Copies of this chain bind each other. A is one copy, B any other.
Protein backbone atom coordinates (compact mmCIF):
# COMPACT_ATOMS: atom_id res chain seq x y z
CA UNK A 1 0.00 0.00 0.00
CA UNK A 2 1.69 3.17 -1.27
CA UNK A 3 3.80 3.04 -4.42
CA UNK A 4 6.01 6.04 -3.69
CA UNK A 5 9.74 6.06 -3.07
CA UNK A 6 9.85 3.33 -0.43
CA UNK A 7 7.01 1.25 -1.87
CA UNK A 8 8.54 1.11 -5.33
CA UNK A 9 11.88 0.28 -3.70
CA UNK A 10 10.24 -2.67 -1.93
CA UNK A 11 8.90 -4.00 -5.24
CA UNK A 12 12.32 -3.47 -6.82
CA UNK A 13 14.20 -5.32 -4.07
CA UNK A 14 11.68 -8.19 -4.03
CA UNK A 15 12.11 -8.51 -7.76
CA UNK A 16 15.87 -8.09 -8.03
CA UNK A 17 16.85 -10.43 -5.20
CA UNK A 18 13.90 -12.82 -5.70
CA UNK A 19 15.94 -16.03 -5.74
CA UNK A 20 17.90 -15.42 -2.56
CA UNK A 21 14.81 -14.01 -0.84
CA UNK A 22 12.83 -17.16 -1.69
CA UNK A 23 15.65 -19.26 -0.25
CA UNK A 24 15.69 -17.24 2.96
CA UNK A 25 11.90 -17.03 3.32
CA UNK A 26 11.44 -20.72 2.57
CA UNK A 27 8.87 -19.83 -0.07
CA UNK A 28 8.54 -17.65 -3.15
CA UNK A 29 7.32 -14.14 -2.31
CA UNK A 30 5.10 -12.65 -4.96
CA UNK A 31 3.73 -9.12 -5.28
CA UNK A 32 0.02 -9.63 -5.93
CA UNK A 33 -1.46 -6.15 -5.52
CA UNK A 34 -0.18 -2.60 -5.19
CA UNK A 35 -2.48 0.10 -3.86
CA UNK A 36 -1.94 3.66 -5.06
CA UNK A 37 -4.30 6.36 -6.25
CA UNK A 38 -1.91 7.42 -9.02
CA UNK A 39 -1.41 5.84 -12.43
CA UNK A 40 1.95 4.38 -13.40
CA UNK A 41 1.72 3.69 -17.13
CA UNK A 42 4.49 1.43 -18.38
CA UNK A 43 5.57 0.45 -14.85
CA UNK A 44 6.75 -3.18 -14.58
CA UNK A 45 4.18 -3.78 -11.82
CA UNK A 46 1.36 -1.98 -13.68
CA UNK A 47 -0.79 -5.10 -13.81
CA UNK A 48 -0.81 -5.35 -9.99
CA UNK A 49 -1.89 -1.77 -9.39
CA UNK A 50 -5.27 -0.99 -7.89
CA UNK A 51 -6.93 2.10 -6.45
CA UNK A 52 -9.33 0.09 -4.32
CA UNK A 53 -8.17 -1.06 -0.87
CA UNK A 54 -10.79 -3.82 -0.92
CA UNK A 55 -8.85 -5.57 -3.68
CA UNK A 56 -6.20 -6.24 -1.05
CA UNK A 57 -8.43 -6.72 1.96
CA UNK A 58 -10.64 -9.36 0.37
CA UNK A 59 -7.94 -11.24 -1.54
CA UNK A 60 -7.35 -14.40 0.50
CA UNK A 61 -4.10 -15.19 -1.28
CA UNK A 62 -2.53 -12.11 0.35
CA UNK A 63 -0.94 -13.08 3.66
CA UNK A 64 1.43 -10.15 4.16
CA UNK A 65 0.67 -6.48 3.51
CA UNK A 66 3.32 -3.75 3.30
CA UNK A 67 2.26 -0.23 4.22
CA UNK A 68 4.50 2.55 2.91
CA UNK A 69 1.93 5.32 2.42
CA UNK A 70 3.09 7.40 5.38
CA UNK A 71 0.87 9.62 7.49
CA UNK A 72 -1.74 8.54 9.98
CA UNK A 73 -4.84 8.40 7.80
CA UNK A 74 -5.82 6.33 5.97
CA UNK A 75 -2.74 4.19 6.79
CA UNK A 76 -4.04 3.44 10.28
CA UNK A 77 -7.48 2.32 9.09
CA UNK A 78 -6.01 0.17 6.34
CA UNK A 79 -3.44 -1.52 8.59
CA UNK A 80 -6.05 -2.15 11.25
CA UNK A 81 -8.41 -3.70 8.70
CA UNK A 82 -5.62 -5.92 7.34
CA UNK A 83 -4.77 -7.22 10.81
CA UNK A 84 -8.46 -7.81 11.56
CA UNK A 85 -8.69 -9.74 8.29
CA UNK A 86 -5.84 -12.08 9.30
CA UNK A 87 -3.00 -10.54 7.29
CA UNK A 88 0.37 -9.78 8.85
CA UNK A 89 1.63 -6.24 8.22
CA UNK A 90 5.02 -4.59 7.68
CA UNK A 91 5.27 -0.82 7.76
CA UNK A 92 7.94 1.84 7.38
CA UNK A 93 5.57 4.48 8.75
CA UNK A 94 7.05 5.98 11.91
CA UNK A 95 4.13 8.33 12.44
CA UNK A 96 1.76 5.37 12.50
CA UNK A 97 3.89 3.28 14.86
CA UNK A 98 4.59 6.19 17.22
CA UNK A 99 0.89 7.06 17.42
CA UNK A 100 -0.74 3.62 17.26
CA UNK A 101 1.95 1.02 17.86
CA UNK A 102 0.55 -0.32 21.13
CA UNK A 103 -2.92 -0.78 19.66
CA UNK A 104 -1.72 -2.43 16.44
CA UNK A 105 0.72 -4.72 18.28
CA UNK A 106 -2.12 -5.85 20.52
CA UNK A 107 -4.38 -6.46 17.54
CA UNK A 108 -1.64 -8.49 15.84
CA UNK A 109 -1.09 -10.51 19.02
CA UNK A 110 -4.80 -11.20 19.51
CA UNK A 111 -5.01 -12.46 15.93
CA UNK A 112 -1.78 -14.52 16.08
CA UNK A 113 -0.22 -12.30 13.41
CA UNK A 114 2.94 -10.25 13.13
CA UNK A 115 3.21 -6.47 12.88
CA UNK A 116 6.78 -5.35 12.13
CA UNK A 117 8.38 -1.97 11.45
CA UNK A 118 12.18 -2.22 11.36
CA UNK A 119 12.31 0.46 8.64
CA UNK A 120 10.52 3.03 10.80
CA UNK A 121 13.71 3.84 12.75
CA UNK A 122 17.12 4.28 11.16
CA UNK A 123 15.97 3.38 7.64
CA UNK A 124 18.10 0.44 6.60
CA UNK A 125 20.08 0.20 9.83
CA UNK A 126 19.14 -2.91 11.78
CA UNK A 127 18.14 -1.55 15.18
CA UNK A 128 14.73 -2.73 16.43
CA UNK A 129 15.41 -6.45 15.92
CA UNK A 130 18.86 -6.28 17.53
CA UNK A 131 17.39 -4.48 20.55
CA UNK A 132 14.54 -6.95 20.80
CA UNK A 133 16.48 -10.15 20.17
CA UNK A 134 20.25 -9.81 20.35
CA UNK A 135 20.27 -7.53 23.36
CA UNK A 136 17.47 -9.41 25.10
CA UNK A 137 19.79 -10.51 27.90
CA UNK A 138 20.58 -6.90 28.78
CA UNK A 139 18.78 -4.43 30.88
CA UNK A 140 19.01 -1.51 28.48
CA UNK A 141 19.54 1.65 30.49
CA UNK A 142 19.72 4.30 27.80
CA UNK A 143 19.40 4.88 24.04
CA UNK A 144 20.63 7.95 22.20
CA UNK A 145 20.51 8.51 18.52
CA UNK A 146 21.12 10.81 15.62
CA UNK A 147 17.82 9.82 14.09
CA UNK A 148 17.24 12.43 11.40
CA UNK A 149 19.58 12.61 8.43
CA UNK A 150 18.34 15.99 7.15
CA UNK A 151 19.19 17.89 10.30
CA UNK A 152 22.44 15.99 10.70
CA UNK A 153 23.40 17.03 7.18
CA UNK A 154 22.59 20.65 8.05
CA UNK A 155 24.59 20.56 11.29
CA UNK A 156 27.54 18.98 9.48
CA UNK A 157 27.47 21.87 7.01
CA UNK A 158 27.28 24.38 9.85
CA UNK A 159 30.17 22.73 11.73
CA UNK A 160 32.49 21.93 8.83
CA UNK A 161 31.65 24.64 6.27
CA UNK A 162 30.57 27.39 8.69
CA UNK A 163 27.37 27.68 6.70
CA UNK A 164 24.56 29.35 8.65
CA UNK A 165 21.23 27.67 9.41
CA UNK A 166 19.33 29.19 6.46
CA UNK A 167 22.04 28.37 3.94
CA UNK A 168 22.33 24.83 5.28
CA UNK A 169 18.57 24.39 4.99
CA UNK A 170 18.56 25.69 1.41
CA UNK A 171 21.34 23.28 0.49
CA UNK A 172 19.46 20.39 2.12
CA UNK A 173 16.36 21.32 0.11
CA UNK A 174 18.40 21.65 -3.09
CA UNK A 175 19.80 18.15 -2.59
CA UNK A 176 16.36 16.71 -1.90
CA UNK A 177 17.09 15.87 1.77
CA UNK A 178 14.59 18.41 3.13
CA UNK A 179 10.99 18.99 2.12
CA UNK A 180 9.69 22.36 0.96
CA UNK A 181 8.00 22.51 4.37
CA UNK A 182 10.92 21.30 6.47
CA UNK A 183 9.31 21.50 9.89
CA UNK A 184 8.97 17.74 10.52
CA UNK A 185 12.75 17.55 10.29
CA UNK A 186 14.02 20.81 11.73
CA UNK A 187 11.51 21.06 14.55
CA UNK A 188 12.44 17.56 15.66
CA UNK A 189 9.09 15.81 15.09
CA UNK A 190 10.62 13.09 12.91
CA UNK A 191 13.33 12.34 15.47
CA UNK A 192 10.66 12.43 18.20
CA UNK A 193 8.58 9.70 16.53
CA UNK A 194 11.67 7.53 16.24
CA UNK A 195 12.81 7.93 19.85
CA UNK A 196 9.22 7.15 20.91
CA UNK A 197 9.41 3.84 19.02
CA UNK A 198 12.83 3.01 20.48
CA UNK A 199 11.68 3.94 24.00
CA UNK A 200 8.51 1.88 23.68
CA UNK A 201 10.40 -1.18 22.48
CA UNK A 202 13.32 -0.99 24.88
CA UNK A 203 11.36 -0.27 28.04
CA UNK A 204 8.06 -2.01 27.28
CA UNK A 205 5.49 0.78 27.55
CA UNK A 206 4.19 2.99 24.76
CA UNK A 207 5.55 6.54 24.71
CA UNK A 208 3.46 9.00 22.67
CA UNK A 209 5.17 11.85 20.80
CA UNK A 210 3.09 14.50 22.58
CA UNK A 211 4.52 13.35 25.93
CA UNK A 212 8.07 14.05 24.75
CA UNK A 213 9.84 17.38 25.06
CA UNK A 214 10.96 18.19 21.51
CA UNK A 215 13.29 21.02 20.63
CA UNK A 216 14.46 21.40 17.03
CA UNK A 217 17.32 23.16 15.34
CA UNK A 218 15.85 26.56 14.48
CA UNK A 219 17.59 28.46 17.24
CA UNK A 220 21.07 27.02 16.67
CA UNK A 221 23.52 29.64 15.42
CA UNK A 222 27.09 29.49 14.15
CA UNK A 223 28.09 31.12 17.44
CA UNK A 224 26.59 28.15 19.30
CA UNK A 225 28.49 25.80 17.01
CA UNK A 226 31.73 27.66 17.70
CA UNK A 227 31.13 27.67 21.45
CA UNK A 228 30.45 23.92 21.39
CA UNK A 229 33.70 23.46 19.46
CA UNK A 230 35.58 25.55 22.02
CA UNK A 231 34.10 23.29 24.70
CA UNK A 232 35.55 20.28 22.88
CA UNK A 233 32.34 19.05 21.31
CA UNK A 234 29.93 19.15 18.41
CA UNK A 235 26.21 19.94 18.35
CA UNK A 236 23.97 17.10 17.20
CA UNK A 237 20.19 16.73 17.27
CA UNK A 238 19.79 13.85 19.71
CA UNK A 239 16.81 11.69 20.48
CA UNK A 240 17.40 10.36 23.97
CA UNK A 241 15.66 8.02 26.37
CA UNK A 242 16.89 6.89 29.75
CA UNK A 243 15.33 4.73 32.40
CA UNK A 244 15.45 6.72 35.62
CA UNK A 245 13.39 4.44 37.86
CA UNK A 246 11.41 1.22 37.53
CA UNK A 247 8.35 3.07 36.29
CA UNK A 248 9.89 6.26 34.93
CA UNK A 249 11.71 7.23 31.78
CA UNK A 250 13.21 10.51 30.71
CA UNK A 251 12.71 11.12 26.98
CA UNK A 252 13.58 14.13 24.86
CA UNK A 253 14.66 15.39 21.48
CA UNK A 254 17.01 18.36 21.59
CA UNK A 255 20.22 19.74 20.15
CA UNK A 256 22.98 18.54 22.47
CA UNK A 257 26.72 19.05 22.69
CA UNK A 258 28.46 15.70 22.27
CA UNK A 259 32.05 15.39 23.44
CA UNK A 260 34.43 14.62 20.56
CA UNK A 261 35.24 11.29 22.18
CA UNK A 262 31.63 10.16 21.89
CA UNK A 263 30.98 7.41 19.39
CA UNK A 264 28.19 9.48 17.89
CA UNK A 265 30.24 12.64 17.35
CA UNK A 266 31.67 11.31 14.07
CA UNK A 267 28.29 10.48 12.56
CA UNK A 268 28.17 13.11 9.85
CA UNK A 269 26.14 14.10 6.81
CA UNK A 270 22.87 12.29 6.15
CA UNK A 271 23.96 9.28 8.19
CA UNK A 272 22.23 8.09 11.33
CA UNK A 273 23.88 6.53 14.38
CA UNK A 274 22.22 4.94 17.38
CA UNK A 275 23.90 4.13 20.66
CA UNK A 276 22.40 1.51 22.96
CA UNK A 277 23.73 1.25 26.50
CA UNK A 278 23.09 -2.02 28.32
CA UNK A 279 24.13 -3.31 31.72
CA UNK A 280 25.95 -6.36 30.34
CA UNK A 281 26.95 -5.20 26.89
CA UNK A 282 28.20 -1.68 27.57
CA UNK A 283 27.81 0.64 24.57
CA UNK A 284 26.92 -0.67 21.14
CA UNK A 285 26.58 1.64 18.16
CA UNK A 286 24.69 1.04 14.92
CA UNK A 287 25.57 3.25 11.99
CA UNK A 288 24.39 3.61 8.41
CA UNK A 289 22.05 5.37 6.01
CA UNK A 290 18.98 6.38 7.93
CA UNK A 291 16.84 7.00 4.88
CA UNK A 292 16.78 6.54 1.14
CA UNK A 293 14.78 4.35 -1.16
CA UNK A 294 16.79 1.14 -1.20
CA UNK A 295 18.11 1.09 2.38
CA UNK A 296 14.59 1.61 3.71
CA UNK A 297 13.13 -0.90 1.25
CA UNK A 298 15.75 -3.40 2.33
CA UNK A 299 14.61 -3.11 5.95
CA UNK A 300 10.98 -3.53 4.90
CA UNK A 301 11.76 -6.63 2.86
CA UNK A 302 13.80 -8.06 5.76
CA UNK A 303 10.63 -7.87 7.84
CA UNK A 304 8.56 -9.39 5.03
CA UNK A 305 10.94 -12.36 4.90
CA UNK A 306 10.69 -12.78 8.66
CA UNK A 307 6.90 -12.65 8.55
CA UNK A 308 6.86 -15.17 5.70
CA UNK A 309 8.89 -17.53 7.91
CA UNK A 310 6.46 -16.96 10.78
CA UNK A 311 3.03 -17.35 9.19
CA UNK A 312 0.77 -18.71 11.94
CA UNK A 313 3.60 -18.29 14.45
CA UNK A 314 4.15 -15.07 16.32
CA UNK A 315 7.48 -13.39 16.97
CA UNK A 316 7.73 -11.66 20.31
CA UNK A 317 7.81 -8.01 19.27
CA UNK A 318 5.43 -6.32 21.71
CA UNK A 319 4.95 -3.51 24.20
CA UNK A 320 2.23 -2.43 26.57
CA UNK A 321 0.00 0.63 26.42
CA UNK A 322 1.00 4.04 27.75
CA UNK A 323 0.83 4.76 31.48
CA UNK A 324 0.15 8.18 32.99
CA UNK A 325 3.16 9.70 34.74
CA UNK A 326 5.59 7.25 33.12
CA UNK A 327 7.41 9.95 31.12
CA UNK A 328 9.14 12.48 33.40
CA UNK A 329 8.44 16.14 32.69
CA UNK A 330 11.38 17.58 30.77
CA UNK A 331 12.17 20.40 33.15
CA UNK A 332 13.10 18.06 35.98
CA UNK A 333 15.60 16.12 33.83
CA UNK A 334 19.08 16.81 35.20
CA UNK A 335 21.82 17.69 32.73
CA UNK A 336 24.74 20.04 32.34
CA UNK A 337 24.26 23.01 30.02
CA UNK A 338 26.45 25.07 27.73
CA UNK A 339 25.23 28.58 28.49
CA UNK A 340 25.99 31.74 26.51
CA UNK A 341 25.16 35.10 28.07
CA UNK A 342 25.48 38.68 26.90
CA UNK A 343 26.66 41.29 29.35
CA UNK A 344 27.78 44.91 29.52
CA UNK A 345 30.41 44.42 32.19
CA UNK A 346 32.26 41.16 31.98
CA UNK A 347 33.84 41.20 35.40
CA UNK A 348 30.64 41.96 37.28
CA UNK A 349 28.74 39.40 35.23
CA UNK A 350 31.30 36.66 35.91
CA UNK A 351 31.14 37.34 39.61
CA UNK A 352 27.37 37.09 39.51
CA UNK A 353 27.50 33.85 37.47
CA UNK A 354 29.97 32.27 39.85
CA UNK A 355 27.89 33.13 42.85
CA UNK A 356 24.69 31.83 41.21
CA UNK A 357 26.09 28.66 39.62
CA UNK A 358 28.99 27.78 41.88
CA UNK A 359 31.74 26.06 39.97
CA UNK A 360 31.39 26.46 36.20
CA UNK A 361 33.75 25.64 33.36
CA UNK A 362 34.46 28.75 31.30
CA UNK A 363 34.34 28.34 27.52
CA UNK A 364 36.03 30.88 25.31
CA UNK A 365 35.44 30.75 21.62
CA UNK A 366 37.49 32.90 19.24
CA UNK A 367 35.64 36.05 18.08
CA UNK A 368 33.32 36.00 21.09
CA UNK A 369 33.97 39.63 21.89
CA UNK A 370 33.85 41.27 25.31
CA UNK A 371 30.11 41.13 25.70
CA UNK A 372 29.76 37.38 25.70
CA UNK A 373 30.18 34.97 28.58
CA UNK A 374 30.05 31.24 27.93
CA UNK A 375 30.36 28.37 30.39
CA UNK A 376 29.31 24.82 31.18
CA UNK A 377 27.18 24.39 34.28
CA UNK A 378 27.10 21.52 36.70
CA UNK A 379 24.32 18.98 36.30
CA UNK A 380 20.97 20.57 37.16
CA UNK A 381 17.34 20.62 36.10
CA UNK A 382 16.16 23.04 33.44
CA UNK A 383 13.87 24.56 36.03
CA UNK A 384 16.87 25.34 38.23
CA UNK A 385 18.81 26.68 35.26
CA UNK A 386 15.98 28.98 34.25
CA UNK A 387 15.62 30.29 37.73
CA UNK A 388 19.33 31.06 38.09
CA UNK A 389 19.54 32.69 34.66
CA UNK A 390 16.51 34.89 35.12
CA UNK A 391 17.82 36.11 38.46
CA UNK A 392 21.01 37.47 36.86
CA UNK A 393 21.01 41.25 36.75
CA UNK A 394 24.16 41.95 34.79
CA UNK A 395 23.76 39.33 32.02
CA UNK A 396 21.10 38.06 29.64
CA UNK A 397 20.66 34.62 28.14
CA UNK A 398 21.70 34.21 24.49
CA UNK A 399 21.39 30.43 24.33
CA UNK A 400 21.59 27.27 26.40
CA UNK A 401 22.31 23.86 24.95
CA UNK A 402 22.25 20.57 26.80
CA UNK A 403 25.50 18.65 27.27
CA UNK A 404 25.07 14.96 26.39
CA UNK A 405 26.74 12.45 28.71
CA UNK A 406 27.40 9.87 26.00
Contact = CB atoms under 8 A, between A and B. Distances in A.
A299 B299 CA distance: 22
A391 B402 CA distance: 62
A134 B302 contact: yes
Interface string A2-25: 000000010001101100110010
B137 A302 contact: yes
Interface in A270-302: 278-289, 292, 294-295, 297-302
A130 interface: yes
Nearest to A10: B137
B133 A302 contact: yes
A385 interface: no
A263 interface: yes
Interface string A327-344: 000000000000000000
A137 B13 contact: yes
A244 interface: no
A134 B138 contact: no
A125 interface: yes
Nearest to A19: B139
Contacts of A394: none
A294 B281 contact: yes
Nearest to A134: B126
A279 B287 CA distance: 16
Interface in A137-153: 137-139
A372 interface: no
A293 to B, nearest CB: 9
Contacts of A279: 16-17, 294
Q: Which residue among A20, A133, A139, A309 has the maximum number of chain B CB atoms within 10 Å of its CB?
A: A133
Contact of A305 (B14, B20, B136, B278): B136
Contact of A135 (B286, B298, B300): B298
Copies, count: 2
A100 to B, nearest CB: 23
A188 B228 CA distance: 41
Contacts of A280: 9, 13, 17, 124, 294-295, 297-298, 301
Nearest to A305: B136
Contacts of A287: 263, 284-287
A299 B124 contact: no
A129 interface: yes
A313 to B, nearest CB: 7
A134 B118 CA distance: 8
Contacts of A125: 284
A383 to B, nearest CB: 33
Contact of A137 (B266, B281, B283, B298): B298
> Which 3 A-B pairs rank lowest in CB-CB distance, beginning with the nearest?
A137-B301, A126-B134, A280-B298
6 contacts: A126-B126, A126-B133, A126-B284, A130-B134, A136-B301, A281-B288
Interface of A: 9, 13-14, 16-17, 20-21, 24, 26, 118, 124-126, 129-130, 133-139, 263, 266, 278-289, 292, 294-295, 297-302, 304-306, 309, 313, 316
Given A13-B280, A124-B281, A280-B294, 16 more contacts: A17-B279, A24-B316, A126-B134, A129-B134, A133-B305, A134-B299, A136-B301, A136-B302, A136-B305, A137-B298, A266-B266, A278-B298, A279-B294, A281-B294, A284-B289, A285-B286
